[in-house]
Each structure stands twice: as C-alpha cells, then as structure tokens.
C-alpha cells in the first residue's frame, strides 16, 4: 500500500510548517494511508466535502486518537473502556447532533451575536491599549488568549473574573488530540478536566435552580431549559459546555495569533489594512484558510467502503484535513498566498463543512475583525520582536502560537 508513515505526521518540520507535509499527502492522493495505524488522511478539498456528506457511513464519534510514544512510534489509542465523556455536538451523530444543534441555535442567531460587538470591543480595546502603551510584548499572553476567554464568559453567563480560569482550561482543549502528550501529562490533563467539569456542572446547576423567567439568554441557561424539556440530559449539557471551552476559546486564540503573524509576514499588508479597513474581513478569511486553527477532525468508518477509490474497512479512522484541503490547488488559485480578492472568500473549510459546520463561526469572525481593527487603529507599526522567536504549540491537531513576541508603536 502506498502512503506515508504515520510518524511523519509528528515530524518537527510538519508541526512547525505543515505546508510541505500537505503537498506530500496530496502527491499520494486525496485519501492518503498513514501506514501502520489504520488511519487515513483526507487532504483533497473535494474528498473532504464528500466524506462530510457521507455522515451515515463516517461517524463523528471520537473513539480514539493518534499518539506518539517515547520511542517515536505512532499508534491509535482506542478510547474503548477509557470512560470518556458522552459524544455531543461536534462528536455526535444523527439524530442526536441535530437535536443538540437546534437547541443551541437561538443564542447564536445574528441579532444576539451583534449585541456582543460592544463588550468585545471594550475588552479587546482595553487589552490592546495596555499592549501598545508597553511597546509590545507577547501578543498571545496579552490579547490573543484573553479575548476569546472573555467571549466564553459572555456566552456561558460566567462572571468576568472567571476570564483567567476559562483561559487556562480553554487552552488545554487540544492537548489530548495533539498527539504528543505522555502518560504523566495525560494524567494531569484528566485531573484538570475533572476540575473543569465539576466547575461547569456547578454553574449549570445554579441555572437549573433559577425559575425560567429569571434566566437570561446565555448558552448555559439554554442548556438548562433543554434539560427541563428532556431534550438533553445533564451529562450531555456539561459535555456541550466542555466542548464550547475549546471550540470558542482555543480555536479563536489560534486564529488571533496566527492571523497577526501572517499579516506581519506579508509585505505591505498591515499598511494596506490600515488604509482600507474594509479589507480586514477578506484578510480574516484568508487567515482562516491558510492557518486553519483545527487542522483536522476524526471520523470512524462504520462499514467496509471506499472514498475516492481508496478502500476502507470498518473501524478505520479518517482525519478530515481541513487545513490540507484549504491549500488544495484544485480548489484555490495560488493556494499558499494571501489573496484579498477571491471570488468565494468563504469557500474554505476552516470552520468545517456540512452538518457539523461550526455554529460559532460568526462570533469567531467578529472577534478577529474587532481585534485587528482595534490593533491597527491604535498603532502606526507592528513588527516581530527579533530578541525572541514566536513558538507554536507542538500539536498534530491545532495550529496555535504559544508565544508571539511583538514590538509596536
């Protein structure tokens, strides 16, 4: 069988700059076997779209993850018997997925999202003002991570002082899927996840204790209402809250860091965006395409079948490569370049595709737009701090900067 060794997914070069790895995947074919793992990386844009459409054959349930051991060997860690949380939203299949998605849609409608503009702008503006006054610093620590954490507190109806706690928990969301965690790290992660789950359970219970007329329109209150109508149960509600921490927190933090770095790496771009701020939205779409926060999501093959001519057996795993597909030259002209004049700027798969398309996409786009607007309005120049290099989180799953040292004025 032709393919790439599963270990190549974990190579330092692929983690630091995966563009070449994606090209090598596509050279094998739109569905590339990861040899020795029973996993297949789907890197073609059309192939990813087809796999998503065939959701009755390819389950979204998270039943295992690829891990690399101390000797560098890659293998699939099966969750069977591991006591993992129930599958909800992003990892739920039909009909449960549609039931849960419909429940969450009212708080995410356009009018509600628009109401968050002012508080997000105030929080981001205050953080950026301090950042600029200091002449710069680590963007991720000062702005890139706190802004999404603040938005999570707003969405879930948490107190403002919970921002730092939310930030810590949200940023650990992709650790298990990152593939590079050792046994001790996994134990710490499970312990911290237990504390987060207990915290969110207590928050949910406070909402359940209130009469319906005293609740607001937070996602937590919506979930409480869903429990009372038997649409979902308490375990599912808490599972949804846990997923929202990572989906609304870590992924947007990844976007805010990588988009800014991409802007600085593109000659003349920050000057153009200052002069024409209406182009910021187009740039954000390019940033999502080129620096897709979640590189892939898993699918489980339910029965023997094939995808784009590649035979698949029941139990095989697919890695739906959103990031790889977003650089597919058959789908995008000049796929590795920033183009602000693309005819279909939102055709990318940066927020997924099909029935599992990210319900928080409008909020993420708004956060990125507001943050870049505030930063560009308050600065005349932004540049990388050459005294310290930017550093990505080592992860096969998420494309996020751990640090982004900048100077500005």
* Residue 141: both structure tokens together: 């620590």
pLDDT value at position 148? 96
User: pLDDT tier at 86 (50, 70, 90 boundaries)?
Assistant: low
The domain in which residue 209 lies consists of: 4-408
Q: Which residues contact 408 (CB under 8 A, 6 or more apart)?
A: 131, 132, 135, 136, 379, 381, 382, 383
Q: What is the pLDDT of residue 76?
A: 85
User: Over the stretch 106-126, which tens digit does the pLDDT of each residue have?
Assistant: 888 888 889 999 999 999 999
Query: What's the mean pLDDT when you consider all of the chain?
Result: 94
CA-CA distance, 359 to 238, in Å (whole number)?
18
Q: Give the per-residue pLDDT at 318.
A: 98
Question: For residues 364 and 116, is the Cβ–Cβ distance under 8 A?
Answer: no
pLDDT digits (tens, 9 = 90+) for 371-399: 999 999 999 999 999 999 999 999 999 99
pLDDT recorded at residue 83: 43
Q: What does each C-alpha distance from 52 to 48, 208, 240, 298, 303 come to in angstroms? A: 6, 35, 21, 11, 16
Q: Are 357 and 375 in contact (CB under 8 A)?
A: no
> Is this structure's pTM higher than 0.85?
yes
Q: If you count them, how many residues does the chain have?
A: 409
Distance, CA of 68 to chain centre? 21
Q: Which residues contact 83 (CB under 8 A, 6 or more apart)?
A: none
Token pair of 133 as six digits:
């006054």
What's 228's domain CATH number? 1.10.630.10
Q: Are 153 and 123 in contact (CB under 8 A)?
A: no
The model's pLDDT over 351-369, given as tens digits with 9 standing for 90+, comes to 999 999 999 999 999 999 9
User: From CA 107, how far away is CA 273, in angstroms rounded?
Assistant: 32
User: Do the Cβ atoms of 214 and 61 come closer than 8 Å?
Assistant: no
Q: Using N-to-C axis directions, what is the helix angle for 219-228 and 234-245, rounded to 10°?
A: 160
In this structure, the strands spanning 310-312 and 401-403 are: unpaired
SS3 75: strand
Number of domains the chain is built from: 1
The first and second tokens of residue 201, run together, are: 């359970």
Residue 185: is its pLDDT beyond 70? yes
How crowded is residue 348: how many other Cβ atoms within 10 Å of its Cβ? Answer: 23
Note the pLDDT tens digit of each residue in 285-340: 999 999 999 999 999 999 999 999 999 999 999 999 999 999 999 999 999 999 99
Instruction: Please compute the mean of the pLDDT values over residues 259-281 and round it to a whole number.
Output: 97
Q: How far is CA 352 from the centre of its chain?
A: 10
Closest CA to 401 of 68, 145, 62: 145
């Amino acid at each position: 069988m032709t393919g790439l060794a599963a270990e190549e997914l974990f190579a330092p070069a692929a983690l630091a700059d995966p563009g070449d790895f994606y090209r090598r995947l596509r050279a094998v074919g739109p569905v590339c076997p990861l040899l020795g793992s029973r996993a297949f990386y789907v890197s073609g844009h059309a192939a990813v779209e087809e796999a998503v459409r065939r959701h009755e054959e390819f389950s979204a349930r998270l039943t295992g993850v690829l891990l690399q051991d101390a000797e560098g060997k890659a293998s699939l860690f099966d969750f069977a018997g591991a006591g993992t949380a129930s599958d909800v939203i992003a990892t739920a299949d039909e009909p449960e997925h549609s039931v849960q998605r419909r429940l969450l849609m009212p708080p995410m409608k356009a009018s509600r999202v628009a109401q968050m503009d002012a508080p997000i702008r105030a929080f981001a503006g205050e953080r950026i003002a301090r950042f600029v006054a200091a002449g710069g610093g680590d963007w991720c620590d000062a702005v890139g991570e706190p802004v999404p954490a603040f938005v999570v507190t707003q969405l879930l109806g948490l107190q403002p002082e919970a921002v730092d706690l939310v930030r810590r928990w949200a940023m650990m969301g992709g650790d298990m899927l990152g593939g590079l965690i050792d046994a001790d790290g996994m134990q710490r992660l499970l312990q911290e996840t237990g504390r987060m789950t207990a915290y969110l359970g207590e928050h949910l219970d406070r909402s359940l204790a209130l009469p319906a007329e005293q609740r607001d329109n937070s996602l937590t209150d919506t979930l409480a209402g869903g429990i009372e109508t038997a649409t979902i149960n308490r375990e599912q509600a808490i599972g949804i809250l846990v997923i929202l921490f990572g989906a609304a927190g870590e992924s947007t933090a990844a976007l805010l860091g990588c988009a800014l770095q991409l802007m600085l790496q593109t000659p003349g771009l920050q000057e153009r965006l200052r002069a024409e701020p209406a182009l910021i939205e187009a740039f954000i779409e390019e940033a999502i395409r080129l620096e897709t926060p979640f590189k892939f999501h898993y699918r489980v093959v339910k029965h023997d079948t094939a995808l784009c001519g590649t035979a698949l057996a029941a139990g095989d795993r697919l890695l739906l490569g959103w990031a790889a597909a977003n650089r597919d030259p058959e789908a995008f002209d000049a796929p590795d370049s920033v183009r602000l004049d693309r005819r279909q700027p939102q055709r990318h798969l940066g927020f997924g595709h099909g029935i599992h398309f990210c319900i928080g996409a409008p909020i993420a786009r708004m956060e990125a737009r507001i943050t870049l607007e505030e930063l560009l309005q308050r600065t005349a120049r932004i540049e990388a701090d050459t005294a310290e290099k930017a550093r990505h989180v080592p992860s096969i799953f998420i494309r996020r900067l751990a640090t982004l040292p900048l100077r500005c004025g």
